[in-house]
Amino acid sequence: MSFLEVGQLGYAFVLLATGSTVGFTCGLLGVGGGFIMIPIQIWALTSSGIDPTIATRTAFGTSLAVILLTSLSGCYGHSCHGAVLWRQGAALGLSGLAGAFLGGTIAAHAPGDLLKVIFGVVVLIAALRMLLASNIHPIGKPKEGLLSYIAWGSLVGVVSGLMGIGGGMILIPIMVMLLGLSMHQAIGTSTVAIAFNAAGGVLSYAINGWGVPGLPACSIGYIDLLQFALLAGICVLTTQLGVNIAHMLPGNQLRYIFIALAIYVGLKMLGIFDFMIFVISQGI
């Protein structure tokens, strides 16, 4: 069963609109956009009768498949502007690929609520640290040697696989504050690492979901090919728009836009907005 088979083509329109937003965000800020896609994907799948647990895992796996293509598009665009550090990006990405495979394997057999809370706290801490940081270099002085990149890439890769995200929301603060990259360099290089992270996660979700009963039609493991086609097709196009705008803006403006988005994502993962809606609805 798939969400298209229930005759509600409104879902397809919503996914196309979501894909447009995700692509633009990836190009502008170097993040995968899984935090935007996943709630919409889960809603579409559960509304079509897919079991919530299966829907969540399918959303994670499909999100990473979309992120893989979107990040490759972003990487091409940012490299044309000279903002991609290939050696550092490859070190982050190759180590992240192994971590993402491990994280995806764990997530395929574990509930996600605790993971969302942990992710929300980490993102909020990173955003606040980035807001208060005074050692951010506008041009960038990348740290020499690849060991630090490999260590951080592995850690972020595990988080990527666990949460079905590209990892840019955590990786960019690390690159800017700890590895010495400028904001533009971090965004461009992030797309390289995200592509590797997503590839590892996709492989893991495809393997661990193979033969699982109750999956949507046209699936490869936990990868829903119909959702993938709708999201990825438009994502790849709008990513280039985001890339071009990113290189029109100064690094400081990009930094504050990224911080605002990170704070929003962190609060959402912690359920703060849902709690506020509940309080308001109860008249507390």
Cα–Cα dist 11/221, whole Å: 22
Report H helices in the chain.
10-29, 34-47, 52-80, 86-107, 113-132, 147-163, 168-177, 183-208, 225-246, 251-269, 272-282
Please give the structure tokens belonging to residue 144: 């020499």
Q: What is the DSSP string of 207-246?
A: HHTTT-TTPPSSEETTEEHHHHHHHHHHHHHHHHHHHHHH
DSSP 10: H
Return mean pLDDT, the chain: 83
Inform me whether the pLDDT recorded for 111 exceeds 70.
Answer: no
Q: pLDDT, tens digit, for every residue of 163-206?
A: 766 677 888 888 888 888 888 888 889 888 888 888 888 888 89
CB of 212 within 8 A of CB of 221? Answer: yes
Look at residues 79, 111, 237, 89 and name the one whose alpha carbon lies nearest to residue 172: 89
Report which of residues 23 and 125 the model is more confident about: 23
Burial of 118: CB neighbours in 10 Å, binned 0-12, 13-18, 19+: middle
Across 26-47, average pLDDT:
84
Mean pLDDT of 133-143: 67
pLDDT digits (tens, 9 = 90+) for 219-233: 999 999 999 999 988
User: Which residues, 6+ apart, have CB-to-CB distance to 170 below 8 Å?
Assistant: 122, 123, 126, 156, 159
Asked whether the beta carbons of 23 and 234 are under 8 A apart, the reply is yes
